[in-house]
Amino acid sequence: MAHQLLSEREINFLLYEFLDTEALIKRPRYSDHSREIFDATLNTAHTIAEKFFANHNAKGDANEPSFDGKTVSVIEETKASWNAFAEAGFLAAHCDAEEGGLQLPEVILRTALAYMAAANIASASYPFLTIGAANLVRTFASDSLKEKFLAQMLDGRSAGTMALTEPDQGSALSDIRTSATPTEDGTYRIHGQKMYISGGDQNLTDNIVHLVLAKIKGAPAGVRGISLFLVPKYLVDESGRPAERNDVKLAGLLHKMGYRNTTSTVLNFGEEEGAIGYLIGEPHCGLKYMFQMMNEARISVGAGASVLGYQGYTYSLDYAKGRPQGRLPSNRDPESKQVPIVQHADVRRMLLIQKAYAEGGLCLSIFATSLYEDEQTAATKEQRHHAATLLDLLTPVVKSWPSKYCLKANELAIQVLGGSGYIREYPVEQMYRDNRLNAIHEGTEGIHALDLLGRKVPAKNLAGYQLLQAEIRNTVMQARDKPKLESMAKALEKALEKLDETSFALFNQLQEDVDRGLGNATLYLDLFGCIVVAWMWLKQAIIAEKALETVPDGDAQDYYQGKLHTAKYYFEWELPKTDTAIALLKSGNPIPFDMQENWF
């Protein structure tokens, strides 16, 4: 069954109806651009995704990277995908023209990348990580480091990684033990082991730039003693050409349930004389720098989860339309014709849930990307600050909500296909396996929950939180006098009030006992996410309601009817579920917290 990557209709909705991407052209940075250029870029991305990424999605899953003790190999199609991506200029698409970039807006770049993720999220990881690593080098590294390493990362000769996690420390970055010893020439010697480093080794590029968190000897304990180092796989000459091998060795590959064509590695730094590392920025400020890449990766994880959810949705929809089986319950005539399973109510229900989650996730992801864009290029300082504040608050939600709900969507895609969904002869089981990673990497759901409730919401006297409330209320105001939207608007307004009550109850609990007060944080993250996505759906419903007044009958009407109906589904089936969470959170329900280790 041929299956489309994303949907042009949906992408156009997101870019040009949900967002006003054309308005970016008025910003000085994009004045040489046009919608035609944006669309041509996306067309190129779509073509490359179809031709160089989709072609080996299943093959890369079935033939995961191997390591013979000396070199690691990924299937050769991966190299072609990397090259096609780099040659089309996507590694530098968002960079300024004077840096050799295409100076494209972030939303266009990220939408382009969504096609690659839809086609093959594992192979897409290599360029995605490289873009993030290059951004970090661009922002924080010295000119001399940039001269040696950046051009290679932007044109595809070198890839990039983020090397944070260590075997004994997991999510607790304050305990990393990788050490950095200064040498007389100003470089450092890095010693330590890093684990779960995606793309940590491969045979795609001439070099790999590892961005490594390590502690300089004598540094303060905890996260305030972490520095950031650029540690290349190969040392380079003055022109950046790889020369001798650095003391970075692949200790082994890890074998994942999904995302298999992305190497997941254990790397030994400094088994011998010490890997040569170059300090980025100031000593002890490494975590702050790394957060730029982490936050970028978090939005990317949410987007990837959403794209996988969307692929499962559209695949199972196509399947359901084409697969005849059984009859409606009211039809007792066994000799009558079978109906396509999309006509069975429960299949429609499963498709509708997928649509609500996947399109909700896509909206949320692109909305976050637009905030990132505004943070960089909005006209006024206030607008830029506003966007930055909102994005900072929403990042844990943007990472976590799609990772949870679009996995559920993939679970339902399997269920729509039944037995066929469970076998590798169909693609949905791989989507499910791939997507299971997203609630883990770049911070687990639990870590983001602590971040949201413990840091992001209370930050700066609730600045982000109050901004979000105000933004959502704006949307509510636009909807409340439209008969088709009124009940949704009221429900969202009510949900906002309840969120407020819940948040303030939690602040009190945190004051009394921070451990206990954070005990149900994951439930709060889920509640928060459900309300934010309800907002995304109300925004979509407003557009749909308005469009329905003018667009002609047929496909155009159907599209917006679908949006409106799915919004209704979300408000009537999903949002009410938050009531249970609200009651538990407000009362500070102690049951999980009070569970004793010996009682398990």
Give the binding range for a copy of itself (CB under 8 A) out of 116-124, 347-355, 381-389, 491-499: 347-355
Question: Could you say whether residue 594 binds a copy of itself (CB under 8 A)?
Answer: yes
Q: Which H, E and C letters describe 109-127, residue by residue?
A: HHHHHHHHHHHHHHHHHHH
Q: Which residues pair with 252 in a beta bridge?
A: 266
Shortest approach of a copy of itself to residue 570 CB, angstroms? 9
Structural contact between residues 271 and 128, judged by C-beta atoms closer than 8 angstroms:
no
Give the binding range for a copy of itself (CB under 8 A) out of 137-145, 148-156, 371-379, 406-414: 406-414
Question: Could you say whether residue 61 binds a copy of itself (CB under 8 A)?
Answer: no
Structural contact between residues 178 and 193, judged by C-beta atoms closer than 8 angstroms:
yes
- Please identify, using beta-carbon distances, which residue of 21 and 306 lies nearer to a copy of itself: 306
Q: Which residues pair with 228 in a beta bridge?
A: 213, 280
- Please identify, using beta-carbon distances, which residue of 81 and 520 lies nearer to a copy of itself: 520
Shortest approach of a copy of itself to residue 481 CB, angstroms? 23
Among 124, 184, 119, which Cα is nearest to 159's? 124
Question: Could you say whether residue 600 binds a copy of itself (CB under 8 A)?
Answer: yes
Shortest approach of a copy of itself to residue 255 CB, angstroms? 4
Q: Work out the number of other CB atoms within 10 angstroms of the CB of residue 20.
A: 10
- Please identify, using beta-carbon distances, which residue of 341 and 378 lies nearer to a copy of itself: 341
Q: Which of 103, 142, 292, 589 binds a copy of itself (CB under 8 A)?
A: 589
The CA–CA distances, whole Å, from 474 to 18, 90, 367 equal: 15, 36, 16
Integer Cα distance of 15 and 23 in angstroms: 11
Shortest approach of a copy of itself to residue 436 CB, angstroms? 7
Residue tagged 């494209």 (tokens): 104
Integer Cα distance of 287 and 280 in angstroms: 11
Q: Which of 165, 265, 370, 389 binds a copy of itself (CB under 8 A)?
A: 165
- Please identify, using beta-carbon distances, which residue of 392 and 411 lies nearer to a copy of itself: 411
- Please identify, using beta-carbon distances, which residue of 92 and 197 lies nearer to a copy of itself: 197
Integer Cα distance of 237 and 586 in angstroms: 60
Shortest approach of a copy of itself to residue 22 CB, angstroms? 27
Structural contact between residues 451 and 291, judged by C-beta atoms closer than 8 angstroms:
no
Question: Could you say whether residue 562 binds a copy of itself (CB under 8 A)?
Answer: yes
- Please identify, using beta-carbon distances, which residue of 16 and 593 lies nearer to a copy of itself: 593
Question: Could you say whether residue 4 binds a copy of itself (CB under 8 A)?
Answer: no
Integer Cα distance of 442 and 295 in angstroms: 9
- Please identify, using beta-carbon distances, which residue of 56 and 436 lies nearer to a copy of itself: 436
Give the binding range for a copy of itself (CB under 8 A) out of 132-140, 147-155, 327-335, 378-386: 327-335
Residue 23, token pair as written in the block: 């308005």
Shortest approach of a copy of itself to residue 478 CB, angstroms? 23
Question: Could you say whether residue 454 binds a copy of itself (CB under 8 A)?
Answer: yes
Residue 498, token pair as written in the block: 């309840």
Integer Cα distance of 406 and 400 in angstroms: 10
How far does Cα 485 stand from its chain's mean position? 30
Integer Cα distance of 193 and 196 in angstroms: 10
Residue 412, token pair as written in the block: 């339902």
Residue 239, token pair as written in the block: 């022109």
Among 560, 288, 577, 565, which Cα is nearest to 408's? 577
Integer Cα distance of 161 and 66 in angstroms: 19
- Please identify, using beta-carbon distances, which residue of 47 and 170 lies nearer to a copy of itself: 170
Binding flags for a copy of itself, 191-210, as an x/- string (CB under 8 A): ----xx--------------
Residue 97, helix vs strand vs coil: helix
Shortest approach of a copy of itself to residue 216 CB, angstroms? 15
89 phi, psi to nearest 5 deg? 85, 10
Shortest approach of a copy of itself to residue 331 CB, angstroms? 9
Binding flags for a copy of itself, 532-561, as an x/- string (CB under 8 A): -----------------------x--xx-x
Q: Which of 94, 194, 456, 568 binds a copy of itself (CB under 8 A)?
A: 568
- Please identify, using beta-carbon distances, which residue of 104 and 416 lies nearer to a copy of itself: 416
Number of residues that bind a copy of itself (CB under 8 A): 106
Q: Which of 440, 462, 467, 551 binds a copy of itself (CB under 8 A)?
A: 440
Question: Could you say whether residue 530 binds a copy of itself (CB under 8 A)?
Answer: no
Q: Which residues, numbered 350-389, are part of the site for a copy of itself (CB under 8 A)?
A: 350-352, 355
Question: Could you say whether residue 283 binds a copy of itself (CB under 8 A)?
Answer: no
503-506, Cβ contacts within 8 angstroms, sequence gap of 24 or more: 503/457, 503/465, 505/585, 505/586, 505/587, 505/588, 506/453, 506/585, 506/588
Question: Could you say whether residue 344 binds a copy of itself (CB under 8 A)?
Answer: yes
Among 327, 321, 229, 326, which Cα is nearest to 281's? 229
Among 478, 473, 499, 476, which Cα is nearest to 489's? 476
Question: Could you say whether residue 1 binds a copy of itself (CB under 8 A)?
Answer: no
Q: Which residues, numbered 292-321, are part of the site for a copy of itself (CB under 8 A)?
A: 317, 321
Give the binding range for a copy of itself (CB under 8 A) out of 86-94, 144-152, 170-178, 287-295: 170-178
Q: How many residues does the chain have?
A: 600
Integer Cα distance of 395 and 388 in angstroms: 10
Question: Could you say whether residue 250 binds a copy of itself (CB under 8 A)?
Answer: no
Per DSSP, 187 falls in state -
Question: Could you say whether residue 439 binds a copy of itself (CB under 8 A)?
Answer: yes
- Please identify, using beta-carbon distances, which residue of 282 and 558 lies nearer to a copy of itself: 558
The CA–CA distances, whole Å, from 280 to 174, 224, 236 equal: 19, 15, 17
Q: Which of 174, 183, 383, 508 binds a copy of itself (CB under 8 A)?
A: 174
Q: Which of 437, 495, 527, 530 binds a copy of itself (CB under 8 A)?
A: 437
Torsion sign, CA atoms 403, 406, 412, 417: negative
Give the binding range for a copy of itself (CB under 8 A) out of 136-144, 288-296, 427-435, 458-466: 427-435
Question: Could you say whether residue 322 binds a copy of itself (CB under 8 A)?
Answer: no
Binding flags for a copy of itself, 488-527, as an x/- string (CB under 8 A): -------------------------xxxx-xxxxx-----
- Please identify, using beta-carbon distances, which residue of 121 and 378 lies nearer to a copy of itself: 121
Instruction: Give me the helix-helix angle, 286-322 and 106-140, nearest 10°.
Output: 160
Q: Work out the number of other CB atoms within 10 angstroms of the CB of residue 7.
A: 15
